[in-house]
């Protein structure tokens, strides 16, 4: 769900898990707090206390939910998994909050999932025909139904059996009465890392959540790998056919927190290097470089360093615009972007500026920001974007508008410049983006990335989209 003041793509989920720590529930709440940028709509934690599974799943921000008296204290046990969720489309959202839990014949299974299954609707249709009764509209539940129907005896085998039938992108954590499990799909589209806190094992979408609890980073979970953690240690399985590695390059552009290290690369450093590439590819005669805060800051620093132009904060962000402003009245809607960003007039007056942002989705916010900067006295606005034009929708766990609503799908570069009303507009090239990550595109080296929202080169067939002939999302209501 995009607020009226926010024209970004959004990651739909973050996951976290702890095995073997007496404060597992509280540590998971802290971990989810660090992953809040991956989902602000709802959060949930499931623990196992040696006898039973305990669940707290609520709508709201992590701090509001687990800061409350009782919610974290209820979460007894040394093992836990948690989830933050971005958004939902209509209907009741509480039933979609993860982790999801079910009693299977081999024992209880809780799952928290980041990603999107590209055949979830077909699976769901088939499962419903076979008599499955779904409680939620989330495709995570399809994994649970598939595991429940598996003929294998043990829960881990059931989960592997279920995952062999799903297609798409997933990084998930699962909890049984005796095991913490972490799995990444064979393409490794979404991140998942392993950490250690004393004797406890940690799984997390990003390393920033390891830092918050003082855990050490051990390694990335490999694409197609399943780790099974028990009191006897950690076992690494590779039950799925290997595929070419295609990590989501947009994690570096915008989704991941800049202090995280994903797939061996510090996100902040990559973003700065994207800005440097952008400066080389698209220089501008200007007086200063201004970021659209916060997400444009690292790339703007890189652009300033490579161009020799001064970096200044010409736009100040209000960090306290929250979900309270999701539905402003029509009378104040026109204020829009100013509630989140305000121009620093003293800095901008009479200046030619390079304005740096991470991406353009619909272009509506970009247009308003350019207008705001001009109203504050900037004489020229050269808009520079630290990603290639977003021309295609994502099917792998990112909330994207329909392709037809993406500015870069509708208009060419000059058309976009006209729409945004900038003096010049440039995007970093796909080659420049890859160079910034330290990888070369389309050669034999690995890892390659998924860059489908820039190129239309989808590594995983969006099966549902073909079948149902429309854009799908993780959270689409399914009939």
Among 34, 162, 208, 248, binds ligand SF4 (CB under 6 A): 248
Round to whole Å and give the CA distance between 231 and 178.
8
Distance of closest approach, residue 170 Cβ to ligand SF4, in angstroms: 12
- Work out whether 84 is an interface residue with ligand SF4 (CB under 6 A): no
Q: Does position 289 bind ligand SF4 by CB under 6 A?
A: no
450 binds ligand SF4 (CB under 6 A): yes
Q: Calculate helix-pair angle for 155-163, 140-149, nearest 10 degrees.
A: 120
Find the binder of ligand SF4 among 101, 250, 252, 311 (CB under 6 A): 250
When the beta carbons of 106 and 296 are compared against ligand SF4, the nearer one is: 296
Give the whole-angstrom CA distance, residue 34 versus residue 218: 18
Residue 48 found at the interface with ligand SF4 (CB under 6 A):
no
Residue 120, Cα to own-chain centre: how many angstroms? 19
Contact stretch for ligand SF4 (CB under 6 A) within 136-144, 334-342, 355-363, 448-456: 448-456
Q: Which is nearer to ligand SF4, 125 or 403 (CB)?
A: 403
Residue 453 makes contact with ligand SF4 by CB under 6 A: yes
Range in contact with ligand SF4 (rule: CB under 6 A) among 47-55, 101-109, 319-327, 447-455: 447-455
Window contacting ligand SF4 (CB under 6 A); options: 46-54, 122-130, 229-237, 394-402: 394-402
In angstroms, rounded to a whole number, what is the distance separating the alpha carbons of residues 306 and 273? 9
Smallest separation, CB 142 to ligand SF4 (Å): 20
* 450 Cβ contact partners less than 8 Å away, ≥ 6 residues apart: 187, 189, 246, 247, 248, 249, 396, 458, 459
- For ligand SF4, what does the binding mask look like between residues 166 and 205, x meaning CB under 6 A? -----------------------x----------------
Question: Residue 262 interacts with ligand SF4 (CB under 6 A)?
Answer: no
13 is catalytic: yes
Provide the annotated active-site residues: 13
Interacting residues with ligand SF4 (CB under 6 A): 189, 248-250, 394, 396, 398, 450-453
């Amino acid at each position: 769900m995009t607020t009226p003041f926010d024209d970004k793509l959004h990651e739909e989920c973050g996951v976290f898990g702890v095995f073997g720590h007496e404060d597992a529930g509280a540590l998971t709440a802290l971990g989810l707090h660090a992953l809040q940028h991956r989902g602000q709509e709802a959060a949930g934690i499931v623990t196992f206390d040696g006898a039973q599974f305990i669940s707290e799943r609520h709508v709201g921000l992590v701090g509001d939910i687990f800061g409350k008296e009782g919610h974290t204290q209820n979460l007894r046990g040394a093992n836990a998994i948690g989830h933050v969720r971005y958004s939902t489309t209509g209907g009741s959202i509480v039933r979609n909050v993860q982790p999801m839990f079910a009693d299977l014949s081999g024992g209880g299974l809780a799952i928290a999932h980041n990603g999107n299954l590209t055949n979830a609707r077909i699976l769901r249709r088939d499962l419903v025909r076979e008599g499955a009764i779904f409680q939620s509209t989330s495709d995570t539940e399809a994994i649970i139904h598939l595991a429940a129907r598996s003929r294998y005896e043990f829960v881990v085998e059931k989960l592997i059996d279920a995952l062999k039938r799903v297609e798409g992108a997933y990084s998930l954590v699962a909890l049984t009465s005796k095991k913490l499990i972490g799995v990444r799909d064979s393409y490794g589209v979404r991140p998942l890392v392993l950490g250690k806190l004393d004797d406890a094992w940690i799984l997390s979408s990003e390393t920033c959540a390891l830092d918050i609890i003082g855990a050490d980073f051990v390694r990335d979970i490999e694409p197609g790998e399943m780790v099974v953690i028990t009191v006897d240690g950690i076992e690494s399985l590779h039950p799925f056919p290997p595929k070419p590695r295609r990590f989501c390059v947009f994690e570096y552009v915008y989704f991941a927190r800049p202090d995280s290290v994903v797939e061996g690369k510090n996100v902040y450093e990559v973003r700065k290097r994207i800005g440097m590439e952008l400066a080389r590819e698209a220089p501008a005669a200007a007086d200063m470089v201004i970021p659209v805060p916060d997400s444009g800051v690292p790339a703007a620093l890189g652009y300033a360093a490579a161009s020799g132009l001064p970096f200044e904060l010409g736009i100040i962000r209000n960090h306290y615009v929250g979900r309270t402003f999701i539905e402003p009245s029509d009378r104040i809607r026109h204020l829009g972007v100013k509630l989140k960003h305000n121009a620093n007039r003293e800095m901008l007056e009479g200046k030619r500026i390079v304005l740096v942002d991470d991406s353009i989705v619909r272009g509506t916010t970009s247009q308003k920001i350019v207008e705001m900067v001009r109203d504050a006295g900037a004489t020229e606005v050269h808009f520079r974007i630290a990603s290639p034009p977003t021309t295609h929708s994502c099917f792998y766990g990112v909330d994207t508008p329909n392709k037809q609503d993406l500015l870069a799908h509708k208009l060419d570069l000059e058309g976009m410049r006209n729409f945004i009303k900038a003096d010049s507009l440039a995007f970093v090239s796909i080659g420049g983006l890859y160079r910034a990550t330290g990888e070369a595109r389309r050669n034999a080296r690995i890892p390659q990335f998924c860059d489908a929202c820039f190129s239309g080169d989808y590594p995983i067939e969006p099966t549902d989209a073909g079948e149902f002939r429309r854009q799908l999302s993780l959270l689409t209501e399914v009939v």
